Amino acid sequence: MIPVTKPFLPDMQAYHAYMGSIWERQWLTNNGPLVNELELKLKSYLGLEHLLFVSNGTIALQMAIRALELTGEIITTPFSFVATTNSIIWEGCKPVFTDIDAETFNIDPAKIEAAITPRTSAILATHVYGNPCDIDAIQNIADRHNLKVIYDAAHCFGTKFRGRSVFSYGDISITSFHATKLFHTTEGGAVFTNDPDLLKKLSLLRNFGHNGTEDFASLGINGKNSEFHAAMGLCNLQHVDEILDKRRLLSFYYWRKLAELPLKYPKLNADLDYNYAYFPVLFDSRELMLKCLKSLENEKIYCRRYFYPALHTLAHVEAGRLPVCESVAERILCLPMYHSLTSSDLDLITRIIHRVRNYEMDSQETRPLTVGAGNLEALSEDIF
């Protein structure tokens, strides 16, 4: 069986060593030493001044909305995981969806301004598949209309934009450290800001508003994470460069094997060091995608329609038609992507897709890859 993803697991003995220290201290949670160590090492690795390790990415989104004291309407993307929309609604705000860019699959800045009303308080955009949004355009719109910017950067660990971690942009950025992510803490997430005052508010929100043993300075929730999760993060952080390198190789191998087919891939932002977190493929039609999906599943190869359905079609939201997003969501498929995949696995996956496609194309019909990741012909045949 080839699943769509598998979590990276470090050497068991390395993890057990951390378990021994936890048992010795009997300090399991509540801002323990391993949580503090992980936060310090993440700040060093990512080149960031401020971050908080939290229980998951959804809590991080909710904390961000609360810390910025947002009300009314929040402009957001319909092409993201459901937590993006649910967090807005959970915090008592209304998601206002605008369509996505047909090339990047990120929120289309050209459509944001028309959606702004007197009730708009923020823009919450997702860096889809770890590919940054048009950060400059979004910030310019936010500045003109006095709006806050939150980035759902759940897919972005290791991605840099203009030489800086993509987590450093926006008023607040969040990420997920769920087991499916390329860097994980089993369950977990983080919240980032460049503003020390916002960091203090977020810190209080994470821990019930505690400001000392007997002082509650503000409203708060339990957004903390444990020593056990921090231990997994500390182990995995030692391997993250290796993980990023392997994802890049897997992606280039996929691209090379599928180069003859008229498939489309997200256009990557310029000035980008990409993390290759996922391998999304946009098919010509929903029918062809479903046929490939079924054929792969018949061979116990499991992909994911990610993201589907489009969030503006959920029963608990109100929205009109967004044709670009609807078209992409109907035709997108994420192929398996994880550290232990082999070239033989990818040969099998791509061979099935070729077989389903079942026709030859001449060179004039072949679409150029829009991956922004270098010259595929320069890759070695022996890529692994």
- On whether both 206 and 263 belong to a single domain, the answer is no
Instruction: Tell me the whole-structure pTM to 2 decimals.
Output: 0.92
- The neighbour count for residue 44, using CB atoms within 10 Å, is 10
pLDDT in tens, 197-231: 999 999 999 999 888 777 787 889 999 999 999 99
Structural domain of residue 322, as residue ranges? 240-378
Report whether pLDDT(370) > 50: no
- On whether both 280 and 371 belong to a single domain, the answer is yes
Specify the pLDDT at position 214. Answer: 75
Q: Please give the mean pLDDT across all residues of the chain.
A: 93
- On whether both 169 and 255 belong to a single domain, the answer is no
Report whether pLDDT(380) > 50: no
- On whether both 161 and 113 belong to a single domain, the answer is yes
CATH of residue 334's domain is 3.90.1150.10
- Give the domain-ending residue among 175, 203, 237: 237
pLDDT in tens, 293-311: 999 999 999 999 999 999 9
- Cα 155 from Cα 132, distance rounded (Å): 10
- The neighbour count for residue 156, using CB atoms within 10 Å, is 29
Residue 5, domain member (yes or no): no
- Give the domain-ending residue among 185, 213, 237: 237
- On whether both 55 and 135 belong to a single domain, the answer is yes
DSSP 219-268: ---B----HHHHHHHHHHHTTHHHHHHHHHHHHHHHHHHTTTS--B-PPP
Report whether pLDDT(361) > 90: no
